[in-house]
Chain A
Amino acid sequence: MSTMKRQRSDKAFNFTPFDLLTEEIVFLILDFLDENPLDKKSFSLVCKTFYAIESRHRRTLKPLRSEHLTTILSRYPHVTSLDLSLCPRITDSSLNVISHVCKSNLKSVDLSRSKFFSHIGISGLALNCSNLMELDLSNATEIKDSAAAAIAEAKNLEKLWLARCKSITDIGIGCIAVGCRKLRLISLKWCLGVGDLGVGWLAVKCKDICSLDLSYLPITNKCLPAILKLQHLEDLVLEGCFGIDDNSLTVLKQGCKSLKTLDMSSCQNVSHVGLLSLTSGAECLQQLILAYGSPVTLALADSLQNLSTLQSIRLDGCQVTCSGLKAIGNWCVSLRELSLSKCLGVSDEGFSTLVTKHKDLRKLDITCCRKITHVSIAHITNSCPSLTSLKMESCALVPREAFVLIGLRCRLLEELDLTDNEIDDEGLKSISRCSKLSTLKLGICLNITDEGLSQIGLCCTRLVELDLYRSVGISDAGILAVAHGCTGLEIINVAYCGEITDHSLMSLAKCPRLNTLEIRGCPLVTSLGLTSIAVGCKQLSKLDIKKCYNINDAGMIPLAHFAQNLRQINLSYSSVADVGLLSLASISCLQSMTILHMKGLTPSGLASALLACGGLTKVKLQACFKSMLPQPLFEHLEARGCVFQWRDKAFQAEVDPKCWKLQPEDVQ
């Protein structure tokens, strides 16, 4: 963008090559600027023509404040998709404005984190925006059946999210089912008021449903036959439906033919018997999620072996037997994804058999499989060379030598989670051969030092996310190498790496895409380092400087000036005082603040800062402020859309960093 800007300014006086381009061509160019929303903003700021073109081109909007809805909607007349999840406050009048300005242009509205609207606003949307196809009302815990009846007026609705709409009952769902016949996706997760009848209505009336999320609904077997008759159903989530059990499932004559994804997590009453009858006939089932369900035994594995198209299975948190794992290994299909995260009973024997058979594995999650050793790792690396994702947090028995194998054999890895492992610099050096690595998590890896990390920084240039939480061996040199090598870095966590200083931050400031920075518990970092970050990383949106005792108001003022995209900040235990906090008010995006144990903060300073930050949605405060400040102040802020969380935790002194390491004796 910067080059474009320069060109533009050079030739602004007489002739511009852009005059030759038709609007359609510019639109096509703009289509490629989707990656970062700020790019388009820069484009529009070039000149009036660009501004106008960008206004006409934009289809999606994600406004921060509802106050400006009228102006931004008139600026962008062709908006079809409106994401209001960042607005702390969306009232019926806001929705009224939207529905009258956008009219039939509007196709998608996201109200999933909005509050303060009611069925009246929804009714206006549904009636005026006749082409509305997607509506996300998740977390609208206040809305009732009347709102559901209003939704039912949106006849063209295809996707509807109602997660956590606890007050909606069967009757409301019935209205939606009858009104929105074109529904293809509906999520009713946590809609505790909806039971068999509501779901049954959906299944009977909306024949086009492809995706159905019924998580944690109080449904029983009664609605299942109707659901399974849906011709196009591909994605069915029955997570946590405790009312469904084997007895009811065995009655089912056949499963759903079109089903591709089935989530039966936390269905404790369903064993392999019910599963068999549910999946029988599901000829194209690709993904099966059975997390936190019945034990993975031989019987369960056998009951699923006929699923010929299965590609992915998640067994997180299940009790696993060796024979069960071996039986999975004997399936005729070759799995692409396997998750055994937090499974109890995963042993080298069973697991090795499994991975040697499924050579096509792309993603493997063995988080907290504490019994596996280098044997398993050797088998994985041997037989699954095409692994792109490996998560093996807290595999405490895997020795440091085993990690060398990963780097040697799994060169295609893009995501690697080695949190809380024995990996050392040799392992890191080996892993640095995975040149496609984009996410690397090395939290609580006490054996690594700058030496290994430098190698990563040198080779893994595509790194986007790096987690070094409590990896105390890391210091400025390692960070420097990473910051130099991986300029695309977006997320970095160096929390409690006590040796980190301002130098690290200054080098990280060279990563322009950095949006999340955690330097919690780095006492050597000062306001100077933070200032350089603020200047260099314009896209910084999340910042955690908890327990950075040397950061004070001097760091806040440049931060407030430069980091205009900051949305979330944790200032606890820092030396920031009234002035610094108040200066943050100039960041219009700021939505979430955590302000605990800040010695320099006075009640009046806090009050003025809270009042000045107009867009706050969540503030964590010490409980003592509750009595120090007038109650009407909090009421006012809550009415603006801010939620307060009161904490009464005692001041925490720093503890020995080694204690975070999982000790072998902790493993049974």
Chain B
Amino acid sequence: MDLNDKIVADTWAKSFSSAKDLPKQLTSDHRSFTSFNNQQQQKKWEVSSILDYNNRIQPPFPEFNHTPEAPRNHNSQIKGPDREDMQSNEKPDNKRFQEWDPRVMLNNLSFLEDKIHQLQDLVHLIVGRRGRVLGQSDELATQQQQLITADLTSIIVQLISTAGSLLPSIKHTLSTANPAIGQLGQLGSMLFPPTNSLNGVVLQQNSGGSKVSGQSNQIDLTVNCGTEQNYAAEEHDPKDDDDDADEGENLAPGSYEILQLEKEEILAPHTHFCMICGKGFKRDANLRMHMRGHGDEYKTPAALAKPNKDSSEPMLLKRYSCPYAGCKRNKDHKKFQPLKTILCVKNHYKRTHCDKSYTCSRCNTKKFSVIADLKTHEKHCGRDKWLCSCGTTFSRKDKLFGHIALFQGHTPALPLDETKPSSLPSDRTENNESKLGNIGFNFSASGSGGNAIQNMVDVKGAVDDPAAYFSPLNFDPCNIPGFHEFPRPTFEESDGFFSFPIPGACNYNQKTGGDSGSNDLE
């Protein structure tokens, strides 16, 4: 969720709201681009075929060339109408989904617009220079091209990350970026492979525009191939797809295809979007479940089936590269170790190259960049109940033992609840008093437990509610006051926060025979 504020805070902030400018660039050059909207084709499209498609992206393009509608009309030169188009398309959407603040969106769009303008100026400048200095070195040209590529990529990615909610009737960034496609939103529940083609198109267009030979177009294409799989892939339990899952894999360098996603694609929160209402989902299966609510045609076994099972065509092994230069998982690294799946890429990138912005609300010290990691930690947080007086915590008692045995002056520290007077023997009725003490204790424990649960609910709400993605800052602040309000949560409560075991306090009663035996006089 913080993905978004990160992006906002990032270098890409300027280009944030230029979404509407993108379509014209995308469509201006590549004629086959809008062919994706062809309904007939969509039905055939399974994830596997998408992947195939990406490998040989050019040949099938002409086939899909029958929808020359709105996108055709868009030209990079005609800015005004395009912008209007865009806005007119968006407004109904916004009305339909009241949780999206149109003003915020407008703001974003104008940001994006500015960014596009800047880029346009830059390209103009380059073109102008090129005309004057013909003998310019190839290096400079390459640099310029890379600069523009980077800028464009940033814009696109910005668009991707916001598109899901900005233009809800469209499934993907491409469609989001393209208002015409947005109008064709009734097409069905197909999955789009747009990001790939989007990037490829952009690059081609870019290089074409600047008259520089696209040196890395091919690579970028393959890189972007990953995106579809990303979108199509079921999101697994993060534990299964650990970074190191493929550590031991020994694939010959040429035996697999290396794909590389861009940072922003990796960080995009949702990868599946409802074509009708625009709601975003992390998993394809969730989307399909969701689609059932839009009509009977989505309830057929075919529509509910997992899409990519019937691919019989042998595929080249795919492995992924981390876009972060210098990373061992980056394909340029000397000892490159590829990542196995998209999810691996995502988790690896977040864990390794992103800020750890999820703070555990219990211990307030541990931070994570992957929310699943946070949840895993929270399950065990506080279980590190073996405390030393020096403040070190241990998950296992024997570790604490070793620590205490080793260091002079260190003492095992009691868990916080121990130091509270849990049973106050009184002058009058001892039993009642101690019960009272326990009740008080339970209350505080359950209070904090409830609080933790509340936090968890907040997290969940934020995950499920698309709107929450765009106000991610709400997440942390709502945790913090809860944390301070109650005593530090104690261990065990994640299991049963209302039944905190107080050893001996309640179970052992003064009245038992053994105790009375102690009163025997000699």
Contacts and interface: CB of A to CB of B under 8 A. Distances in A.
B505 A142 contact: yes
B519 A591 contact: yes
B425 interface: yes
Contacts of A138: 518
Q: Which range contains the number of B residues in contact with the other chain? A: 35 or more
B425 A116 contact: yes
Contact of A166 (B412, B434, B504): B504
B329 to A, nearest CB: 41
A568 B521 contact: yes
Given A178-B409, A178-B410, A639 B428 contact: yes
B515 A93 contact: no
A145 to B, nearest CB: 5
Interface string B174-199: 00000000000000000000000000
B440 to A, nearest CB: 15
A193 B504 CA distance: 10
B398 interface: yes
Interface in A151-204: 152, 164, 166-167, 169-172, 174-175, 178-179, 193, 197, 200-201, 204
B427 A91 contact: yes
A210 to B, nearest CB: 21
Nearest to A197: B401
Contacts of A115: 425, 430, 510, 515
Contacts of B410: 178
B419 interface: yes
B521 A174 contact: no
A502 B386 CA distance: 68
Given A167-B508, A638-B510, A201 B427 contact: no
A174 B412 contact: yes
Interface residues of A, number: 51
B518 A170 contact: no
A201 B418 CA distance: 20
A201 B405 contact: yes
Contacts of A179: 411
Contact of A197 (B398, B434, B504, B514): B398
Contact of B412 (A175, A567, A645): A175
A501 B510 CA distance: 41
A478 to B, nearest CB: 27
B421 interface: yes
B401 A592 contact: no
B434 A142 contact: yes
Contact of B508 (A166, A175, A644): A166
Given A142-B434, A144-B422, A174-B412, A200 B405 contact: yes
Interface string B504-522: 1100101101111011110
Given A204-B405, A639-B429, A639-B430, A142 B504 contact: yes
B385 to A, nearest CB: 9
A516 B353 CA distance: 83
A152 B519 CA distance: 27
Interface string B382-424: 0000100000000001101100110001111110001101111
Contact of B503 (A112, A193, A618, A645): A193
A348 to B, nearest CB: 37
B503 A167 contact: yes
A329 to B, nearest CB: 37
Interface in B421-446: 421-431, 434
Given A567-B521, A618-B519, A643-B515, A141 B418 contact: no
Contacts of B429: 635, 639
Contacts of A166: 504, 508
Contact of A643 (B398, B405, B511): B511
A364 interface: no
A644 B512 CA distance: 10
Nearest to A141: B508
Interface in A511-548: 541-542
A146 B510 contact: no
A146 B419 contact: yes
Q: Among B401, B423, B513, B518, which residue has the most Cβ atoms of chain A within 10 A?
A: B518
A542 B521 CA distance: 9
A113 B508 contact: no
A645 B516 CA distance: 8
B429 to A, nearest CB: 5
A117 interface: yes
A477 B410 CA distance: 71
Contacts of A169: 503
A139 B386 CA distance: 27
Contact of A618 (B398, B426, B505, B520): B520
B340 to A, nearest CB: 41
A638 B412 contact: no
A635 B426 CA distance: 13
Nearest to B412: A174
A327 B284 CA distance: 82
B366 to A, nearest CB: 23
The 8 closest A-B pairs by CB, nearest first: A167-B504, A174-B412, A643-B516, A116-B425, A139-B518, A178-B411, A197-B401, A617-B519
Interface of A: 91-93, 112-113, 115-120, 138-139, 141-142, 144-146, 149, 152, 164, 166-167, 169-172, 174-175, 178-179, 193, 197, 200-201, 204-205, 541-542, 567-568, 591-592, 617-618, 635, 638-639, 643-645
